[in-house]
Every structure is written in structure tokens, then in C-alpha cells.
């Protein structure tokens, strides 16, 4: 048996715009998905899912993963959980040249499903890593990130970017612009996450932005402006001392950019009352900046605040179900037990991948 884990992420800047080739800066956080994989003697795939913001379930099917299981769980939740596992299995089989490989798979996660924290990317990255190692074909980080992106791209009908899967593979902060993916050496930023207990429909939210962008020139300009915000923020991070605590000046400048970004995302129609309420609760409590993270429509916000004030305020906000501090995850995907060595996300800051 091989067990791999991969971190979730928050977007400092750039969600939605990254779909159109603009840059984005996601940061890995220490909330992880863990995938246990054991090879079987037949071509069956047996999946046991736990903690994916739904009731646990176990399914088994044979050969192709095209047939969906008949289980007592709402079908949309099964589709959400199983689609990414299926895609990870397909990529692992292809990478190891083992089309008939069977697996017993257990998925556990402390990342809320569909809430903007990269749960699907973490499951796919950890799943491909564990399965290929179990088959004796461990992948280098760059290939793993690429295959994980291809899996998400397939499941999301071509609307995925490389940002989530690259960040989950490499850890830390990364800058993604189209196919150009780079790590950034950055100070450990004081993230606070608020969660409204819900999840947005990523496909519909992405499609909604696409419709606005196609219909109105100013919506396309809004998307491009988000890209400009990302470039300013990435420059600030590159110029900061990664070995020193972030200065108040740096946090203030990053926070202002986050606030601009949230306003533009709200104008594009991807925020919600609960997300806006949490954003303003954090700002009123003294956060340097706060914005939604991920596709929006519900889920999570991220704030920059080294004090306990934002977390406390969020916990007393009616629209907030949970609030927690999220440390920057310097490790990306890693082996927890079983064969193989811990995956290395590389040594070079801002090195081209």
C-alpha cells in the first residue's frame, strides 16, 4: 500500500482570470487530502471515500470507470467525488503503461469539497502520485502536475487551469500564467479562512463569467484588470525577504490588492451575500485585506491578518460556519507511508516548469 497526501490552496489573486491566460497566485495551505492506494490482482477499482463533505461511501466497479456506482448518496455528490478519482486512475494507468491495473483506494480529506480550497486538485494529485508509486512508476513533480491538470481539464470540460494542480504538487506559493508555471519564494503569509458551509457550482460560475466577457467589452477589461493586480502582487512577493516575517507594509499592499480583486470578482457576479459578509467581517476586524477564494458562489474567503481578530470576528458572523488559521504549506505532494520517497517540489525560486 502507498499513501500520498497533497495540500489544498487559497488564491491570493487571480481566480477566474487565470482561465483566460491571465496570471494567478495560489498558495498551498496545510489542509490536506490523503489517498491510500493498494494494487489488486484483478482490474476492479474499489473506492472508499471519507470526509469529502458528504456521507462516506464505498463503491466497486470493473475495468473501465465509465459506469457510475449505485449508492445511497445524492448523485451530484457522487459525481463530484468519483469524477476526479476516475480521472486520476486513468492518468496513473496511462503513466505506468498498466491499462488493466486494479486498485483499492481510500480517500480522506480535511479540505471542504467545492469550497474554493482546491479539494479536487489535492485528491487528483495525491491519487496519481500514490497509484503510480504503487505500480513502481513514480513521477517527477513536473509530470505529476501536468497529468493532474489533464485529469481536471477532462472532468471540468476544458475549463480548468494549471493553477490548482501545480500549486498542490509543488507546495508554497506559485505563479501560473497559461502553461508557464513557477514557484515563488515568499514569506509565510498570515492566512485566515472563513467557510460559509456551502459550495458554489464551479462550472456554472465559470460559464457565467464567460458569457459576461463575451457580451460586454468592459467585462473582458475587468478580467484583464485582475491580471494586472496579480502582476503587481507577484512582484511584491518576489521582492520580499522569504526568510523574514512579512512586514506591515507588505501585508498592507497585498491586502489592498486583495480588496481590489474581490471587488472585481463581485462585479463579475461570482460572489455571494455570505462571502461578502465574511469579507467585510474580516476587514472590519482589522484584516489587511480579504477576498473570496476559488470559483465563488459560496464556500470560503481568505484574509490576511497576523492577529486573532479576524478569526474571532468570523466566528461570530452568522454566515460563517467555520473559521481557521491556515499555515502556508511548504511541502506539496508527499508520501506518507509505503514505497517511494517524498516528492520534491524543487529548489529554484521562480524557476520555469
Give me the residue spans of the domains in the chain. Answer: 2-185, 191-326
Residues forming beta bridges with residue 173, ordered by sequence position: 27, 184
pLDDT in tens, the chain (353 residues): 999 999 999 999 999 999 899 999 999 999 999 999 999 999 888 888 765 544 444 455 444 445 555 444 445 545 656 788 889 999 999 999 999 999 999 988 888 777 788 888 999 999 999 999 999 999 999 999 999 999 988 887 766 788 899 999 999 999 999 889 999 999 999 999 999 988 888 888 989 999 999 999 999 999 999 999 999 999 999 999 999 999 999 999 999 999 999 999 999 999 999 999 999 999 999 999 999 999 899 999 999 999 999 999 999 999 999 999 998 999 999 999 654 444 443 333 332 32
Confidence (pLDDT) at 341? 45
CB 254 within 8 A of CB 233: yes
Q: Which CATH superfamily is domain 191-326 in?
A: GHMP kinase, C-terminal domain (3.30.70.890)
Confidence (pLDDT) at 81? 60
Confidence (pLDDT) at 79? 60
Q: Which three cell numbers stand for residue 350?
A: 521562480
Q: Which three cell numbers stand for residue 219?
A: 467585462
Confidence (pLDDT) at 53? 47
Confidence (pLDDT) at 4? 96
Alpha carbons 332 and 150: distance in angstroms, whole number:
18
Q: For cell 508555471, name the residue.
A: 181
Residues forming beta bridges with residue 32, ordered by sequence position: 7
> What CATH class does 2-185 carry?
alpha beta
Alpha carbons 242 and 246: distance in angstroms, whole number:
8
Confidence (pLDDT) at 50? 66
Confidence (pLDDT) at 109? 87
Residue 164 designated active-site: yes
Confidence (pLDDT) at 339? 47
Alpha carbons 67 and 132: distance in angstroms, whole number:
23
Residues forming beta bridges with residue 33, ordered by sequence position: 6, 109
Q: Which three cell numbers stand for residue 286?
A: 482589522
Which residue among the candidates 86, 104, 164, 196 is catalytic per the annotation?
Answer: 164
CB 23 within 8 A of CB 230: yes
Query: pTM for this one?
Result: 0.85
Amino acid at each position: 500500500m502507498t499513501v500520498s497526501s497533497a495540500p489544498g490552496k487559497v488564491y491570493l489573486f487571480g481566480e477566474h482570470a487565470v482561465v483566460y491566460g491571465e496570471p494567478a497566485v495560489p498558495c498551498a495551505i496545510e489542509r490536506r487530502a490523503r489517498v491510500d492506494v493498494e494494487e489488486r490482482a484483478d482490474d476492479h477499482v474499489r473506492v472508499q471515500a471519507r470526509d469529502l463533505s458528504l456521507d462516506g461511501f464505498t463503491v466497486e466497479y470493473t475495468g473501465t470507470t465509465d459506469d457510475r456506482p449505485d449508492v445511497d448518496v445524492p448523485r451530484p455528490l457522487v459525481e463530484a467525488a468519483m469524477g476526479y478519482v476516475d480521472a486520476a486512475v486513468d492518468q496513473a494507468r496511462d503513466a505506468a503503461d498498466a491499462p488493466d491495473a486494479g486498485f483499492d483506494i481510500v480517500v480522506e480529506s480535511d479540505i471542504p469539497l467545492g469550497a474554493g480550497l482546491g479539494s479536487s486538485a489535492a485528491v487528483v494529485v495525491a491519487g496519481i502520485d500514490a497509484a503510480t508509486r504503487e505500480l513502481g512508476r513514480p513521477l517527477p513533480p513536473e509530470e505529476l502536475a501536468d497529468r493532474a491538470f489533464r485529469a481536471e481539464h477532462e472532468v471540468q470540460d476544458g475549463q480548468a487551469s494549471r493553477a490548482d494542480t501545480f500549486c498542490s504538487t509543488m507546495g508554497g506559493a506559485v505563479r501560473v500564467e497559461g502553461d508557464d508555471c513557477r514557484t515563488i519564494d515568499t514569506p509565510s503569509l498570515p492566512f485566515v479562512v472563513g467557510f460559509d458551509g456551502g459550495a458554489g457550482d464551479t462550472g456554472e460560475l465559470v460559464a457565467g463569467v464567460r458569457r459576461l466577457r463575451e457580451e460586454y467589452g468592459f467585462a473582458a477589461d475587468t478580467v484583464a484588470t485582475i491580471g494586472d493586480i496579480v502582476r503587481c502582487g507577484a512582484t511584491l512577493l518576489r521582492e520580499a525577504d522569504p526568510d523574514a516575517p512579512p512586514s506591515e507594509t507588505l501585508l498592507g499592499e497585498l491586502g489592498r490588492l486583495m480588496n481590489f480583486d474581490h471587488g472585481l470578482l463581485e462585479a463579475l457576479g461570482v460572489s455571494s451575500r455570505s462571502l461578502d459578509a465574511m469579507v467585510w467581517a474580516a476587514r472590519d476586524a482589522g484584516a489587511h485585506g480579504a477576498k473570496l477564494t476559488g470559483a465563488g458562489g459560496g464556500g470560503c474567503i481568505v484574509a490576511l491578518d497576523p492577529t486573532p481578530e479576524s478569526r474571532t470576528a468570523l466566528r461570530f458572523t452568522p454566515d460563517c460556519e467555520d473559521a481557521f488559521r491556515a499555515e502556508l504549506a511548504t511541502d506539496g505532494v508527499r508520501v506518507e507511508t509505503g514505497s517511494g520517497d517524498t516528492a520534491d517540489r524543487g529548489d529554484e525560486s521562480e524557476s520555469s516548469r
